Every structure is written in C-alpha cells, then in structure tokens.
Structure 1
Amino acid sequence: MQKSRESGFLFCNMCSTMLVLKSSKNAECPLCKTTRNAQEIIGKDISYVVSDEDIRRELGISLFGEKTQEDTELPKIKKACEKCQHPELVYTTRQTRSADEGQTTYYTCPNCGHRFTEG
C-alpha cells in the first residue's frame, strides 16, 4: 500500500471536514458537498498515534493504581457545617505551604456541598 505524503488526503480541500466514501468512485464532504476522486484515497495507509495517557484517560484508569477522590471513602469528622449546621463533614488534607508548616484541611459538607478550609 502507498503512504500518503499529503497529510490531509482524507479531508476536504475547501472546508477541512473529513471526507466520506459515497461510492467506489467518489468521496464527498458531508458539509460543503465537494467531491473528490476516490482513487486518490483508496489504498493509502492511515496511521495515527495514541499515547498511553490517552488510553488511561479514556478507560478511567489512573497512573500507578492511584485512587481518585471519587473512588475512595473520605474520612469524616463530627464538626458542624458553617452553612447548614449538618453535624458531620468529610475532609482531605494537603501540604500547600513549606514542609515546616502545617497542612491545610479542606472540609466539605455531604448535606449541602459547602466547602471551606482550615489551617
């Protein structure tokens, strides 16, 4: 099979929309209806690159088996929400400053969704 040296051989020369083979003789642009001789397209190899990150993202797989926040059960604390007074909050902690300072705690109310930080 012959490889195309022209990068856009499957795309319309007028509007850059992907061509559709309507018959064994013609390829047609579904947007502007421009036609192209199918012999220019038939028999050419098509190749593209898909990265491992693209595959992981499409399949919902995280790198190194890390769990996403949705996959893990967040820890809970008996502390009232500032907004709705719900008696229990979920929280996460992050080191947002230098290592010799404390972590920042992020609270989320499971009842109303209110978020606030402490630390």
Structure 2
Amino acid sequence: MRFCPKCGARVILKRRDNLLLLECHRCGYNAVVDENVREVSEVTTSRFEAVTIVSGNTENIRALPTTTAECPRCGYDKAYWWMVQTRSADEAPTRFFRCVKCGYVWREYA
C-alpha cells in the first residue's frame, strides 16, 4: 500500500494507455510506476453466507423478515424489520420497522 506524497491519502494503482500509474483520488497527484512493481489483489472470504444491506428506497422490498410489532399509525400488528448501524460501532444497531398494512416506518433504539 502506498500513500500520496502531497496529501497523505492512499493512492490507487490505475492502468492508462499501457502505463501503470499511482493516482490519488483526493488531490489528483499521479506518478508513473516502475516496471518492477506488480499489481497484487487480496481476497478475504467471510464465514458468513450472505449479507443483505438495505439502504435508500425500501418501498418495494417485500423480502424482509416480518415480526409482531404494533404500528403506531394504524395499529396493525405485523411489520417488516431491518437493522442499521446508525451510531458508533460500540453501540447497538437501530431496528427499523415498516407496517405491512399502511407502510409507515418507525425505529426502535436498542
């Protein structure tokens, strides 16, 4: 891993016109890389099968798990739920609910 000599940000290895360059995304610095440098990528596998990240528009998502939770708006007792780490990592994640009937979204801090 290399860092930009101007601003200290991590530089990324890019290929442009048969040249290998180190390029800084922050300040735009770039330098031609010596021919002896090789590109190496490392793949880390996880012991978890799959992770679903829900962000942005959740209107049309119906694959979320459901739970028994009373909607504050309509009183219906079933809701979709998902969790998001909205605070620092040492605090519990925030649990969000969406009413199955009316679509109202509310949150629960653990």
Whether TM-score is above 0.5 comes out as no
> TM tier, shorter chain?
0.3 to 0.5
| Rg (Cα) greater in structure | 1
TM-score, normalised relative to structure 2? 0.43
Structure that is richer in strand per residue: 2
Q: Which has the higher helix share?
A: 1
